[in-house]
Amino acid sequence: MRKTVVLLFLLLSVSSGIFADVSATNIRNAFLPGLSASAVTGFKNEKIYTGFDFHYAFVQGTSEARSPSSFGGYYEGYCEIGFYKEIDSPVDDDIFFTYAAGVNLSFEKFIGGSRDFLIPYFGAKVGGIYFNTVGKGMLLEPVLGLVVINKKSININLNSGLFLNTVDLSKYIGLHTSLVVNLNL
In what helix (H) or strand (E) does residue 171 lie, and over which residues does it extend?
helix 169-172
What's the whole-model pTM score? 0.80
Q: Which residues of 24-53 are buried (b: 16+ CB within 10 A; e: fewer)?
A: eebbebeebebebebbbbbeebebebebeb
Domain count for the chain, please give it: 1
Q: Tell me, what's the pLDDT at 112?
A: 61
The model's pLDDT over 94-131, given as tens digits with 9 standing for 90+, comes to 899 999 999 999 987 665 666 778 989 999 999 999 99
Domain extent, residue 175, equals 2-183
Q: Tell me, what's the pLDDT at 66?
A: 73
Neighbour-count burial of 185, counting CB atoms closer than 10 A to its CB (0-12 exposed, 13-18 middle, 19+ buried): exposed
The CATH number assigned to the domain holding 112 equals 2.40.160.20
